[in-house]
Amino acid sequence: MLTEWGFTLNSTDTSLGLISASRERPLHGYYDPYDDAYSYGRGMRLFGGVGIGHGGSGVGFGIGGIGYGGGVGQQPVEVERVSLLVDDAHIRISRDIRRFDHWGDLRESYSASNDDFCQRFQTSFTQTAPATGRPL
């Protein structure tokens, strides 16, 4: 059922009853609104620094660079992971979502095991699994 939803199975352990799966989708135009270096999505990032020092006879300075647009060729992505723990009486599900920016840095991470997802999973599972008379 998870593969039909677009997930890729990462690992399974039948002796433990554990299934792990994930899926990834591009985030077009994504930026981190809390990172001021992105100028709130206006597309310019300045990095580096300027320093002046004197120790008798020398003065030195340096400037990093200015980058426009989308980083080092990476697309911002959202990775959704789902883990199922199955025993004779119950199925326990855990879901989390992580968002990475165009630099590959983790910008957001949160648990997404909400009622909506769990209800959709249970409905789909009961429609596709054979009836056993046992609750989820």
Per-residue model confidence (pLDDT) at position 52: 54
Cα torsion angle, 37, 111, 114, 27, sign: positive
Per-residue model confidence (pLDDT) at position 90: 86
Per-residue model confidence (pLDDT) at position 1: 87
pTM for the predicted model, two decimal places: 0.63
Per-residue model confidence (pLDDT) at position 78: 94
Per-residue model confidence (pLDDT) at position 30: 74
Per-residue model confidence (pLDDT) at position 130: 63
- pLDDT beneath 50, residues of the chain: 38-47, 50, 59, 61-70, 135-136
Structure token digits, residue 39: 């100028």
Long-range contacts of 127-134 (CB under 8 A, 24+ apart): 128/1, 134/88, 134/89
Structure token digits, residue 66: 């200015």
Choose among 68, 71, 79: nearest CA to 26.
79
